[in-house]
């Protein structure tokens, strides 16, 4: 059964619109969005402005159990690779029940942070000793159950992961839970789809060029011809990865990918931090999207992307929580803009007066459409045909109180409110705030001790 909502202000077509009447159809999608319309008697009248939610286009849920546990250094050097070795300690211990508890807590946090759909880049498949579970999709099921418990939309991306590096054809012992081949990845994708759970779908992923042989990547790409699901890959996150790829193939990672695989709009290049202008142009020409994860890239010391070049390209852009050190899109956008300001010694780098004078507005609009594509959605945001997801702003948050209505989005991103969103809607239904702390605390104690 359809129903109506009315908001005094809503973010529609890249700007605040007044007196917006919205209709949700029986399938939980927007069937009409009409500004400058009085509230009819049958409409639910909302007490404040509303924003579209974002897709969290890159997530490793289990890494939520590692947040805050890698912020000390006990050797002369600390970088992504030393962090990874420590993170593997959690990856080798976490059980399906613990993963479900951690993911449930994480998804509740992400919903509170303004995301209503998560793309789970999922490579944690096997038992602790590396042997397959009797149900090979058991860890996928833990993620799907967490999404169902919280109301989070979910795209599960089983990952092709078959080697330790360009010159290491086998996995390391501490990567034993990740082992997959093309056939297993496709089976996991199809199994998740066969569950037919509300708001749960699946695509596929390739961990990285270093973790999959060229022939396997091409085999997976060919097997996905005709399938509409997304295809994600980590790429060019670290300078050493770029160097290793050059040594192994004679080309940089993005350069190789755009020339050897059939990229199209289903493909999502995660990070793409170290991309040349020519590579950015090649990605845009292919139709592939890019997923930037500013909080994680800062935490891991990855480096800064060429944001001005990406913004002027036609490549779809999305944002992801990745390692979960940040769990709200407003903070991710703030990190993204502030990193550029520090590097370039300029302000409002993301803004372009000829396009959009607000940094927050330009970033939100680019990441709305790109995030939807990353999850396999044709439409996303406050647009007809999209899933009826949205965020009710908490204008009583001390950081937002008193701001002119026209600057509320700028305040959400740059005034750093503690709880900018009062309520979250998914598929036309307001979600209750889930109490997930007890299960999460139990999983953390089991993993790390008291």
Q: Tens digit of pLDDT for each residue in 315-361? A: 999 999 999 999 999 999 999 999 999 999 999 999 998 888 999 99
Q: Which of 201, 302, 306, 322 is catalytic?
A: 322
Between vectors from CA 191 to CA 150 and to CA 216, what angle results, nearest 5°?
115
Residue 26 has what pLDDT? Answer: 97
Q: Which residues contact 240 (CB under 8 A, 6 or more apart)?
A: 81
- For the purposes of burial, counting CB atoms within 10 Å of the CB of 378, is it exposed (0-12), middle (13-18) or buried (19 or more)? exposed
Cα separation, 443 vs 94, whole angstroms = 8
Name, in order, each residue with C-beta under 8 angstroms of 390's C-beta and a sequence gap of 6 or more: 10, 50, 51, 52, 53, 382, 425
pTM more than 0.85? yes
Which domains does the chain carry?
A: 3-52+388-430 (2.30.40.10), 54-374 (3.20.20.140)
Give the count of beta carbons closer than 10 Å to the beta carbon of residue 193: 15
CB 210 within 8 A of CB 241: yes
| 322 flagged as catalytic | yes
Whole-number Å distance between alpha carbons of 362 and 189: 34
Query: Phi/psi at 109 (nearest 5 deg)?
Result: -65, -45
Q: Is 119 helix (H, G, I), strand (E, B) or coil?
A: strand
For this structure, is 36 an active site residue? Answer: no
Low-confidence ranges of the chain (pLDDT < 50): none
Q: Are 58 and 270 in contact (CB under 8 A)?
A: yes
CB-CB contact of 26 with 370 (8 Å): no
- Closest to 268 measured CA to CA, from 375, 368, 152: 375
Catalytic residue among 105, 122, 207, 271: 271
- Extract the tokens encoding 329: 């899109």
- pLDDT tens, residue by residue, 364-395: 999 999 999 999 999 999 999 999 999 999 99
State the Cα–Cα distance between residues 380 and 29, nearest whole angstrom: 10
Place of tokens 């890239």: 297
Question: How far are the Cα atoms of 13, 31, 308, 373, 424 from residue 25, in angstroms, in the given order?
Answer: 20, 6, 39, 22, 18
From CA 340, how far away is CA 350, in angstroms rounded? 8
> What pLDDT does 356 receive?
83
The confidence score (pLDDT) of residue 423 equals 98
């Amino acid at each position: 059964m359809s129903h109506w909502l009315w908001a005094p202000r809503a973010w529609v077509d890249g700007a605040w619109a007044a007196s917006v009447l919205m209709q949700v159809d029986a399938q939980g999608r927007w069937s009409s969005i009409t500004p400058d319309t009085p509230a009819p008697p049958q409409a639910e009248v909302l007490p404040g402005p509303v924003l579209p939610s974002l897709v969290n286009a890159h997530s490793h849920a289990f890494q939520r159990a590692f947040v805050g546990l890698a912020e000390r250094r006990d050797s002369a050097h600390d970088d992504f690779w030393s962090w990874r070795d420590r993170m593997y300690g959690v990856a080798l211990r976490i059980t399906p029940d613990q993963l479900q508890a951690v993911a449930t807590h994480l998804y509740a946090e992400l919903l509170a942070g303004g995301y209503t759909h998560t793309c789970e880049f999922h490579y944690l498949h096997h038992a602790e000793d590396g042997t397959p579970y009797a149900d090979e999709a058991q860890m996928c099921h833990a993620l799907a159950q967490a999404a169902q418990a919280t109301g989070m939309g979910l795209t599960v991306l089983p990952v092709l992961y078959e080697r330790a590096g360009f010159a290491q054809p086998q996995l390391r012992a501490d990567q034993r839970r990740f082992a997959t081949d093309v056939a297993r990845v496709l089976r996991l994708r199809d199994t998740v789809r066969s569950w037919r759970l509300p708001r749960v779908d699946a695509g596929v992923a390739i961990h990285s060029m270093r973790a999959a042989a060229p022939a396997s990547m091409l085999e997976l790409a060919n097997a996905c011809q005709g399938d509409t699901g997304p295809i994600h890959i980590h790429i060019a996150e670290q300078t050493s990865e770029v160097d290793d790829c050059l040594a192994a193939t004679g080309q940089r990672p993005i350069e190789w990918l755009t020339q050897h695989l059939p990229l199209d709009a289903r493909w999502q290049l995660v990070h793409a931090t170290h991309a040349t202008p020519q590579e950015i142009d090649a990605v845009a020409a292919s139709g592939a999207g890019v997923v930037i994860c500013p909080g994680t890239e800062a935490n891991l010391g990855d480096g800064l992307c060429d944001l001005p070049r990406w913004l002027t390209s036609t490549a779809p852009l999305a944002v992801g929580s990745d390692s979960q050190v940040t769990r709200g899109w407003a903070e991710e956008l703030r990190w993204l803009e502030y990193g550029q300001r520090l590097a370039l010694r300029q302000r409002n780098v993301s803004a372009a007066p000829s396009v959009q004078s607000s940094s927050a507005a330009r970033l939100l609009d680019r990441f709305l459409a790109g995030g939807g594509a990353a999850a396999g959605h044709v439409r996303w945001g406050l647009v007809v045909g999209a899933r009826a997801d949205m965020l009710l702003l908490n204008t009583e948050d001390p950081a937002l109180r008193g701001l002119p209505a026209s600057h509320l989005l700028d305040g959400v991103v740059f005034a750093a409110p503690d709880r900018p969103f009062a309520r979250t809607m998914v598929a036309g239904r307001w979600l209750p705030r889930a109490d997930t702390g007890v299960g999460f605390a139990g999983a953390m104690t089991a993993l790390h001790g008291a």
